[in-house]
Amino acid sequence: MKMTASVARTLGIVLVVLGCAACTASATDLTEPVTLVATPRLASPEFSETVLFAAPLPNGMHIGFIVNRPSEVPLAKAFPEHTPSRKVVDPVYFGGPMLPEMVFAVARTPPKDTAKLMQLMPGVVLVMDAEAIDRIIETTPNDARYFAGLIVWQPGELDEEIRAGAWEVNPADPSAVFSTHPEMLWKTLSHGGVRLEARSHADRPRA
């Protein structure tokens, strides 16, 4: 999975953005990684019934990935010339609208000899270096999940969305990131979904 020069330059821009020290506000109530569950108040239909993992950055920004939107594209199809990609069982996931042409690896164990990674939470690291992602695919291909694109919130943006009721906030959990049944995540985690299930069960006619 070799990146072109233009994509590599784009990755460099992303790293600068993520490492930027300037900020105008701090997410004081979101200083730990969280799981975000979309509510009906979310304005954008693009994120309807999504579950996101979000982690804070030192500058007040947040970075995240949609964890319940697997595509129908296997990694081997995305990178047909990279033979080891055929060993990856799961398809590529749609991680978010920012840089959808790039693939990021979210892994359980950090690969050796790379500095371009971010500890998102215990047991979850984000790998952004193309060579390191190649090593993961070649050595432990199914101990990671591969995302096309990501989400970045500017300082204060995620706070505003939560105050507006767009997201339910749950503690971060690696099992949600690596769920074997991503299609069930929103229904399982959403309080609205749970209430709907309970109401439907109660409304069933008794025998």
Residue 99 is predicted with a pLDDT of 94
Residue 112 is predicted with a pLDDT of 80
Please tell me whether residue 77 adopts helix, strand or coil conformation: helix
CATH code that applies to domain 30-193: 3.40.1740.10
The pTM score is: 0.78
Low-confidence ranges of the chain (pLDDT < 70): 1-29, 192-207
Max CA distance (Å), the chain = 67
Residue 29 is predicted with a pLDDT of 55
Q: What tokens does 181 get?
A: 């049944």
Residue 46 is predicted with a pLDDT of 87
Q: What tokens does 39 get?
A: 């509510």
CA atoms of 161 and 83, how far apart (whole Å):
42
Residue 191 is predicted with a pLDDT of 76
Residue 167 near residue 36, CB atoms below 8 Å: yes
Render 154-177 in DSSP notation, one character per residue.
Answer: PTTHHHHHHHTT-EEEEE--HHHH
